[in-house]
Chain A
């Protein structure tokens, strides 16, 4: 009894402008009035790989939750020239692939296949297309053959890979990862770094792993107390010891 779907929708084409995300003057405070983001402005171009660093509580995760409209604060946010509003929300969610820090939150279906198929199914794609995309996404993270495995029987490293596959299957324009290397053993971390290097996607990755940042991300954005305090070449910023120390980071 396959469930029938409406006509398959083509993935929304990005406008010719190469800016994937543009944020201007974003403010956000939580319901308890704690100010989480203050006047954030950031522009991400196609193909850029950016590390988002800063101490715990700096607002990195809050900023990421804005990128696909799960939280919405004051200011302007555009994804692929589409302003973030109710009409554009579904398209924006397919353009921004957001992977949460804890894979147990990201993987909520009983089996790996169902989790990776979740996004494509909600985009209304045909059964064949869904199956192709799941297969592709699992191949990209080197987890082919895990389709019928149960999520709660996987190791943390495997869960992280599957978590990334769950958004790759949606053909996002930008991959947004929240602390992907946290909690991984050295081998799993190395595997993840190689995976991220090989993925030909625009990326914004929050991390405390400055070694990984140095290796993978040419651009770095430093956040502290809800503000962007530095935005520039990773190579250059990582040499600025005074800046690093001021914001709780260490030179690598």
Chain B
């Protein structure tokens, strides 16, 4: 079964961005995200400049200008985690809501912080989307390896990538098997009670876990059979050339400059 995996967001193109060393791309994306976090609240112009940079990179990567924008929407609900910032900063009171015994005071500083958090996470998600759309996942894994991320972590990510589809197929088969036997007789109330259904769902989760556990055993045997002795070895000659270094330096300078600019 060949199918798409949520990690397979790569869009094959032949562009400057695609050809860039994956190591450089990972470093730049992380730098970009860090600098988002460090920008002060309400630095609207800096946020706008950063979005401009994303648009420019998207065009350079031969993607449509709204490519990252469209894909970033699904991640936005997670930014609601910042909602508590609305009510937790001292400042000028804008509104007061009474929630039972809880009094929520919306302040101007809180609103500013919340909007900034929203923008920061939104920009960060877009740059991450840009990264995975222009770099194949195996290349990303190699880049993490070269950047000396702990081996165990890289291995876990690589296995997650490889087995995501296998696991989702397994879950899908379980669900289909349940559906096929979830029949109803005419004029007969069926479906069981909530507790019974919950137990079935619990059993299915347990099944999935057991199957994955047994599979992990078999994979480990397959690794042992080919000489695995505790650490993974790979052959990935991703060389960084002088152009990559220059680009890294330039981007670093730009990002640092933006930090100062935002604080003027």
Contact = CB atoms under 8 A, between A and B. Distances in A.
B226 A166 contact: yes
Interface in A114-154: 114, 117-119, 121-123, 127, 130-131, 150-154
Contacts of B138: 110-111, 114, 150
B233 A122 contact: yes
Given A100-B218, A151-B162, A110 B229 contact: no
23 contacts: A1-B238, A90-B229, A98-B225, A100-B225, A104-B215, A105-B215, A107-B162, A108-B159, A108-B162, A108-B219, A108-B222, A114-B234, A117-B234, A123-B227, A131-B235, A150-B138, A152-B2, A152-B162, A152-B166, A153-B2, A154-B2, A167-B225, A170-B226
A167 B226 contact: yes
B11 to A, nearest CB: 15
A98 B165 CA distance: 25
B158 A122 contact: no
Residue in A102, A104, A155 with the greatest tally of chain B CB atoms within 10 Å? A104
Q: How large is the interface on A (under 10, 10 to 19, 20 to 34, 35 or more residues)?
A: 35 or more
Given A2-B236, A117-B235, A122-B228, 9 more contacts: A3-B234, A70-B225, A105-B215, A118-B226, A118-B227, A122-B226, A122-B229, A153-B2, A155-B2
A22 interface: no
Q: How large is the interface on B (under 10, 10 to 19, 20 to 34, 35 or more residues)?
A: 20 to 34
A182 B163 CA distance: 21
A93 interface: yes
Contacts, number: 97
B263 to A, nearest CB: 37
A39 interface: no
A151 B2 CA distance: 9
Nearest to A90: B227
A167 B221 CA distance: 13
A68 interface: yes
B36 to A, nearest CB: 29
